[in-house]
């Protein structure tokens, strides 16, 4: 009877021989890189959006008053 470790070992050895997984790994790495870029840019985007809304809000208050 196979143990969990033996099943995992067989699965990993099959995965290493299968070249279709290379493309999947490349896409996963690119996805992680895009996610990191978005996460790093998010504070800047948030600040920019808030300042635009504040400017529009200020203009509306000034025009209405």
Q: pLDDT per residue over 1-60, tens digit each?
A: 568 888 888 887 887 776 666 677 888 889 889 988 887 887 787 788 889 999 999 998
Residue with tokens 């896409």: 27
Is 50 within 8 Å of 42 (Cβ atoms)?
no
| Whole-angstrom distance, CA of residue 57 vs CA of residue 65 | 12
Sequential DSSP letters for 42-59? HHHHHHHHHHHHHHHHHH
Question: What does the pLDDT read at residue 39?
Answer: 79
Question: What does the pLDDT read at residue 2?
Answer: 67
Question: What does the pLDDT read at residue 38?
Answer: 82
3-state secondary structure of 6: helix
């Amino acid at each position: 009877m196979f143990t969990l470790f033996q099943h995992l070992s067989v699965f990993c050895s099959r995965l290493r021989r299968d070249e279709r997984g290379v493309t999947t790994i490349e896409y996963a790495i690119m996805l992680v890189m895009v996610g990191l870029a978005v996460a790093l840019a998010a504070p800047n985007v948030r600040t920019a959006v808030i300042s635009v809304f504040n400017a529009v809000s200020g203009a509306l208050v000034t025009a209405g008053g």
